[in-house]
Homo-oligomer: A and B are copies of this chain.
Amino acid sequence: MRKKSNTIIEIIAVGSELLTPYYQDTNSLYITSRLNDLGLKVSFKTIVGDDHVSLLSCFKLALKRADMVFIIGGLGPTSDDMTREVFAEASGKELEFRTDLLDHIKSRFKKRGLIMTSSNKKQAFVIKGSEVIENRVGTAPGLWIEDLGTTAFLLPGPPVELKTMFESGVMPRMEKYRNGFSFRKVLKITGITESGIENLVSDLYPKSPEIELSVLAYPGQIEIHITSHSLSSPEKAEKMINPLIKSLKGRLKEHIFSENNEELEEVIGRLLLKNKLTLSTAESCTGGLLGHRITNTPGSSRYFLQGVQAYSNKAKRELLDIHEDVIKKHGAVSAEVAGLMAEGIRKKSRSDFGLAITGIAGPGGGTREKPVGLVFTALSWNNRKNVEKNQFLGMRDSVKSQAAQKAMDMLRRYILFNKIKPIKR
């Protein structure tokens, strides 16, 4: 085997469905993340169907080119499932029948009041010389083969079975292959564009191979993922990353809304709870997305009182007391209406904050003065209000996402900077 730092790892995802337009191999992302935690990297990913010839050639190749191979899927009871058999062939090993495994499979069926079908019997065959990895949530045992030059893991394809087995049975066995320690930090950012971030911080991007940095962009959200590796200890890995994090935070300041992998709705939930504040929402073009996001956080009923989706002008009048004249004069998509929506919902619900969105999500409905993507977001608090005009790019769903994100961010920044005290009730 090569030096640990140069370990060549291949992941092979097995299954004909993975060669259709419908299914994506997501298991390998999870495995990659866990291997990265051990200071290991993936060099190849291969996706291959349930076909004897193809499987055989892929397995043979992996045994030749990789130091370690993770083969996922094809361990089930049906005739399609042939990973075990073909891997035995590729590695020149024999299969042996294990009565203890058959008993284990039988007892799983029994517990559920089912009778084992004869096809499950094949799951009790293992590759000679392999170590069995217990499957706590399914019938297919995993296998660990160490005496081939290439270390091989044969693991089940269903994500729940894979993850459970990986955590309980694979990670402990991987300890001896560990190439140091990794520490990962994610800075979640909103209210600034990707190029805005580049301008502010790109000179800080790490040059050493021990620290890696990736920038991921989503509608209304940018994430900086930083991973450091230390050969000696997790503490050193963490320490190594700290100066960079400090510099990034010094430059990006309040644009960072979380360094603990929280969603924006969790952050505002935490801020509201801490300050004993309540919130209500009034939405037009987002149609409920803002409320949906806010209530994705468990326990949000402690601060989210109510919302209205005032889609029609009539609804804006009736639910939010917005005068017909204002809508006529400025239009439903206007700073004036956005501000009145936020104020209206705050007063009607007697919440501390009112948050509102009105805009043109598209694809239709745009004009030269008010193009698609024009969205007003508004925050009302204690007889004051703040309205922002945004011009978002993208399709309807992206405009809606960015609008909800922006509204939540207005609230976050307001609470952060205004040292708000709860209103006496």
Contacts and interface: CB of A to CB of B under 8 A. Distances in A.
A312 interface: yes
Contacts of A290: 288
Interface in A198-225: 214, 216, 225
Complex copy number for this chain: 2
A386 interface: no
A295 to B, nearest CB: 3
A44 B26 contact: no
B306 A287 contact: no
Contacts of A361: 295
Interface in A304-341: 304-312, 314-315, 318-319
Which of the listed residues A51, A311, A363 has the most CB atoms from chain B within 10 Å of its own CB? A311
Given A289-B288, A309-B291, A309-B308, A45 B19 contact: yes
Contact of A299 (B58, B312, B364): B364
Most B CB within 10 A of own CB, among A47, A48, A304 = A47
Contacts of A363: 298
A396 interface: yes
A296 interface: yes
Contact of A287 (B65, B299, B307): B307
Interface in A68-99: none
Contact of A309 (B26, B306, B311): B306
A315 B310 CA distance: 15
A299 B61 CA distance: 54
17 contacts: A19-B42, A20-B32, A20-B36, A283-B291, A288-B288, A288-B290, A288-B291, A291-B309, A299-B364, A305-B312, A305-B314, A305-B315, A306-B311, A306-B312, A307-B309, A307-B311, A308-B319
